[in-house]
Structure 1
């Protein structure tokens, strides 16, 4: 099974590039099948990692950034892949 972990944070205004660089620099304790980062307006950063694991497996996730870099808590979601179309 493939599990996707999504991590999304919103930087303090004007610090989106810094948050993106911070997210890129974070090492995980395991190696995902794939890891991709995205950015969006309002200084949002999204990181998705894909894992070959059961849905409820303990998987390494990106931590919370320093409080002065983000303006709210990180949002996290877990999804099970249903394949590609």
Structure 2
């Protein structure tokens, strides 16, 4: 089964590039099948990692950034793949 972990944070105004750099520099205890880092207006950063694992498996996740870098707590979601093209 493929599981995708999504990590999304919003930077303090004007700190989007710093948050993006911080997220890109984070290493995980294990290597995922795939990792993608995205950004969006409003200084938001999204990191998606894909894993060959059971839905409820213990998987490494990105930590919470320093409170001076983000404007709110990180949002996290977990999804399982049901179809792929």
Q: Normalising to structure 1: TM-score of the pair?
A: 0.98
Write the distance in 2 (CA, Å) between the matches of 1:30 and 1:4.
14
Partner of 1:78: 78
The residue that corresponds to 1:7 in the other structure is 7
Point out 4+ residue stretches in structure 1 off by more than 2 angstroms: none
RMSD, aligned α-carbons: 0.6
1:37 paired with 2:37, answer yes
TM-score by length of 2: 0.98
Task: Give unpaired runs (5+ residues) of structure 2.
Answer: none
Q: How many residues of Structure 1 are paired with residues of Structure 2 in the alignment?
A: 85
